[in-house]
């Protein structure tokens, strides 16, 4: 059962990801990105990581992609002024290098084995919350500083010069 859903959502995520990088208009890419993020959230549910699946939908599909769509509409580049993709030697070499990276990580992933742990609810809200507010409390608090810096930075960068 898990295998069927893994193949289904894995295929959706992979197909959506390919569409994200191949579409000409960024709006189409953003919509396919939402599809991919939802499929990855479904994979998190398959791994019993319910908290992260919810966060994935709320933060990624809900906030990050909406931010992308907002910016696409805000700058509203006319169709004829979208960058024209040209095939250059550097670009082809880059794609070949990316393919080699994929091949290497696939070989590494295939060799990788994990000890069989007893089934646990390590992805539940309770387990994640307990770890987050005890062992990883400092990292969690530093995260809020990072977000504050990002907010101030974004406002300072996007603000019109007075």
Helices (H), the chain: 2-22, 26-46, 50-55, 65-75, 89-111, 125-133, 137-158
CA atoms of 8 and 43, how far apart (whole Å): 10
Q: From the CB of 15, what's the least distance to other proteins, in Å?
A: 10
Q: Is 85 in the site for other proteins (CB under 8 A)?
A: yes
Counting contacts by CB under 8 A, is residue 117 touching other proteins? Answer: yes
Q: Does 63 bind other proteins (CB under 8 A)?
A: yes
For residue 138, the minimal CB distance to other proteins (Å) is: 12
Chain positions 86 to 105 lying near other proteins, rule: CB under 8 A, are: 86, 91, 94-95, 97-99, 101-102, 105
| Interatomic CA distance for residues 22 and 77, integer angstroms | 18
Residue of 73, 79, 110, 141 that binds other proteins (CB under 8 A): 110
CB of 82 to other proteins, least distance (A): 7
| Cα distances (angstroms) measured from residue 127 to each of 55, 115, 144, 150 | 15, 20, 21, 28
Instruction: Please report whether residue 158 would count as binding other proteins according to CB under 8 A.
Output: yes
């Amino acid at each position: 059962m898990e295998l069927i859903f893994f193949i289904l959502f894995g295929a959706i995520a992979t197909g959506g990801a390919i569409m994200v990088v191949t579409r000409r208009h960024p709006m189409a890419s953003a919509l396919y990105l939402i599809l991919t993020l939802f499929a990855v959230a479904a994979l998190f549910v398959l791994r019993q990581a319910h908290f992260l699946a919810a966060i994935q939908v709320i933060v990624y599909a809900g906030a990050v992609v909406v931010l992308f769509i907002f910016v696409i509409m805000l700058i509203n580049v006319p169709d004829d002024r979208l960058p024209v993709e040209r095939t250059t030697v550097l670009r082809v070499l880059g794609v070949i290098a990316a393919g080699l990276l994929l091949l290497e990580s696939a070989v590494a992933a295939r060799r990788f084995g994990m000890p069989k742990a007893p089934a646990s609810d390590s992805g539940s809200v309770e387990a994640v919350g307990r770890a987050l507010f005890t062992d990883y409390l400092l990292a969690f608090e530093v995260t809020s500083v990072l977000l504050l810096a990002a907010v101030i930075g974004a406002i300072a960068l996007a603000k019109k010069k007075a």
